[in-house]
Amino acid sequence: MARKSLIEREKRRQKLEQKYYLIRRSSKKEISKAPSMREKKIEIHGKLQSSPRNSATIRLHRRCFLTGRPRANYRDFDLSGHILREMVHTCLLPGATRSSW
Give 65-80 pLDDT, tens digit per residue: 888 898 999 988 889 9
Listed residues 30, 46, 61: the one ending a domain:
61
Quick: pLDDT tens for 38-53.
888 888 888 888 888 8
Q: DSSP letters along 17-78, please?
A: HHHHHHHHHHHHHHHHHS-S-HHHHHHHHHHHHTS-GGGSGGG-----TTT---SSEETTTT
Write down the pTM of the prediction: 0.68
Residues 53 and 68 in one domain: no
Is there a single domain that holds both residue 37 and residue 54? yes
Q: Say how many C-beta atoms besides its own lie within 10 A of residue 66's C-beta.
A: 14
49 and 7 within one domain: yes
User: Which residue range(s) make up the domain with 70?
Assistant: 62-101
| Domain CATH number, residue 67 | 4.10.830.10
Same domain, 21 and 70: no
Is the Cβ–Cβ distance between 41 and 97 less than 8 Å? no
